[in-house]
Amino acid sequence: MKPFETLHVGGSEYHLKLTTSHAVQLEEELGTDLLSGLDRLSQISVLAKYLYHAAMPLNDDICSINDVYQLIDDFITDGGSIEELQNLIVETLYTSGILSKQMYDASKKMAGKQQEALQKLLS
């Protein structure tokens, strides 16, 4: 298993891994467990919290949630999407040992079905 996931933004790399202490802090902020929180990843504030707690332990230049807000803005400016960041959070939870392989596969399958449904709506 990989030691961390990598987010590329503006020529920089950010390593993402959720440590136990940051997982506990994130659960406290969300008011729920990490898996239930995934249902709210479409909320930018929730997405930013997951990114913040995954990035903070391995990146010295991520010191506040505002740094993550800027990172998201820069990622979007570089052509990235919120959906890509949502998928990266799922990857990070798997890499961090929070999602089992079975749960990871099920979440990927569900995301694929949601994407298909969205494409049908837009067609």
pLDDT tens string 92-108:
999 999 987 887 777 76
* pLDDT at 76 (0 to 100): 97
Q: Is the pLDDT of residue 112 over 80?
A: no
CB 29 within 8 A of CB 49: yes
pLDDT at 108 (0 to 100): 67
Query: What's the domain count of the chain?
Result: 1
Block residue for tokens 């929070």: 98
Kindly indicate the confidence band of residue 60, based on its pLDDT and cuts at 50, 70 and 90: very high
Question: Nearest 5 degrees, angle CA 6-CA 58-CA 71?
Answer: 60
Question: Looking up tokens 């909320």, which residue turns up?
Answer: 43
Give me the half-sphere count of Cα atoms (radius 13 Å) on the Cβ side of residue 16. 26
In 3D space, the residue among 85, 48, 53 whose CA is nearest the CA of residue 68 turns out to be 48
The residue segments making up the domain with residue 64 are: 5-122
Q: Give the integer Cα–Cα distance in Å for 117 and 123.
A: 10
pLDDT at 116 over 90: no
Is the pLDDT reported for residue 118 higher than 60?
A: no
